[in-house]
Amino acid sequence: MKVVILGIDGYIGWPLALRLLKEGHDVVGVDSFYTRARVSEVGSGSITPIKDMKDRIKDASKFYGKTIGFYEGDINDPDFVYMFMEREKPDAIVHLAEQRSAPYSMIGLKQARETLIQNMGGTINLVYAMKDIVPKAHLLKLGTMGEYGTPNIDIPEGFFEIEYRGRKDTLPFPKFAGSWYHWSKVHDTNNLMFANRVWGLRITDVMQGVVYGTGTKEIKETESYTRFDIDEVWGTALNRFCVQAVLGMPVTAYGKGEQRRGFLSLEDSISCLMLGLNKPPEIGEYRVYNQFDEHYSINELAAYVKENGEKILGREVEIKHVENPRVEKDQHYYNPEHKKLKELGYKPSGNLRAELEKIIEDVNRFRENAIRFKDAVMPRTYWKESRGLK
């Protein structure tokens, strides 16, 4: 299968490229290096050593005996999208090339506009190019569990059956996102459903939870790392907690810490995306997966990091409940369904506690890099203070 990965340089894009290559597929990557640039703007960077794309591709092809095609450019430019789609005519496209940080989108109007325009612009260019060039290809697009928010009822996988005033229908489950970033994914989802309805494009919309971890099997065997972000804008909860433990900083549970999210390891995220690619939807089908392993409260995660951190590092790890910079419920019901991937054959690779040990050991190994970006770790982006023009 020929797969184009949009956002190949990212946290998930690079390990997915390695897995596809290892399994004998043809891989073509596209990236504008947006994440590298934006992370350095907030005074941070990946603490794992990541090479530039030329060297990453060289390392991967040395190991797996096959090379990766690459286009540098911005998918918000329709001419660019049409150009590489015409040349490559892929069987599948994995779309990971979006602004992926909720805090970034909440810094101010500039970042909010950038997030909405960039994310929706890239996706609309892509569905038009698919319709015109490869109408039977499979689009596997990364959405987020955060599209649903935290309603006081169970969350289905995309659609639910509803009875209203005596009539029944199966409808998209209502969305209630918590940042401009998460809303941009909701808007994408609506646009994808419509593209499917009018042109019959085959689409998998993946509602993914928070991903954690430093490695996958392929990263381990090639030693070709993926990025690992630790700052308050680009780093995510569990990864940041491990870094805080290693640096002797308090683990920052926001608010009461009772907010729950679905989590999965990087290894499992890649396995699930591979399942989605290897078992595509029918022509004309739009399907939705809720992609996570288990859900945990922030307090549970902080406690696991404390317990494992103290064992590995041999000193106390403090948990600190800081003022929640976000506007979100920090105590709520949470019961999302996640059956479909299991029906396709997904089996979690391990457990969160075992993975935690590996993350803490890796972060400890790259501790010098973490120290360089220490000032960017504590929260400073407050939803209520998002800057407008004044």
Strand 319-322, strand 251-254: pairing: parallel
Least distance (Å) between residue 16 CB and ligand USQ:
15
Which residues, including other chains, have CB under 8 Å from residue 54's CB and lie 6 or more apart? none
Q: Which residues pair with 290 in a beta bridge?
A: 207
Is the torsion defined by CA of 34, 39, 40, 42 positive or negative? Answer: positive
**How many residues are listed for the chain in this entry?**
390
Is 148 noted as a catalytic residue in this protein?
no
CB 163 within 8 A of CB 172: no
CB 84 within 8 A of CB 71: yes
Is 185 noted as a catalytic residue in this protein?
yes
Least distance (Å) between residue 178 CB and ligand USQ:
7
Residues 266 and 302: their CA atoms lie apart, in Å, by 19
Q: Find the largest Cα–Cα distance for the chain.
A: 63
Which residues, including other chains, have CB under 8 Å from residue 93's CB and lie 6 or more apart? 3, 4, 6, 126, 130, 137, 138, 139, 140
> Which single residue brings its beta carbon nearest to ligand USQ?
146
Nearer to ligand USQ, 220 or 320 (CB): 320
Nearer to ligand USQ, 90 or 103 (CB): 103
Residues 130 and 28: their CA atoms lie apart, in Å, by 16
Least distance (Å) between residue 272 CB and ligand USQ:
14
Nearer to ligand USQ, 93 or 249 (CB): 249
Least distance (Å) between residue 295 CB and ligand USQ:
9
Least distance (Å) between residue 247 CB and ligand USQ:
13
Least distance (Å) between residue 251 CB and ligand USQ:
8
Residues 150 and 175: their CA atoms lie apart, in Å, by 9
Nearest C-alpha neighbor of 134 from the set 81, 96, 74: 81
Catalytic residue among 144, 214, 236, 381: 144
DSSP secondary structure letters along 94-158: EE--S---HHHHTSBHHHHHHHHHHHHHHHHHHHHHHHHH-TT-EEEEEEEGGGT---SS-B-SS
Nearer to ligand USQ, 128 or 304 (CB): 304
Least distance (Å) between residue 254 CB and ligand USQ:
3
Q: Which residues pair with 250 in a beta bridge?
A: none
Nearer to ligand USQ, 146 or 280 (CB): 146
Nearer to ligand USQ, 242 or 275 (CB): 242
Nearer to ligand USQ, 262 or 280 (CB): 262
Catalytic residue among 185, 204, 289, 334: 185
Residues 194 and 386: their CA atoms lie apart, in Å, by 31
Least distance (Å) between residue 158 CB and ligand USQ:
15
Which residues, including other chains, have CB under 8 Å from residue 223's CB and lie 6 or more apart? none
**What is the binding site for ligand USQ (CB under 6 A)?**
100-102, 144-146, 209-210, 236-237, 240, 252-254, 259, 261-262, 298, 326, 328
Nearer to ligand USQ, 21 or 305 (CB): 305
Alpha carbon distances (Å) from 336 to 174, 261, 313, 352, 359: 13, 9, 35, 19, 26
Residues 248 and 331: their CA atoms lie apart, in Å, by 28
Which residues, including other chains, have CB under 8 Å from residue 9's CB and lie 6 or more apart? 29, 31, 33, 35, 36, 53, 56
Catalytic residue among 64, 71, 148, 181: 181
Residues that are catalytic: 144, 181, 185
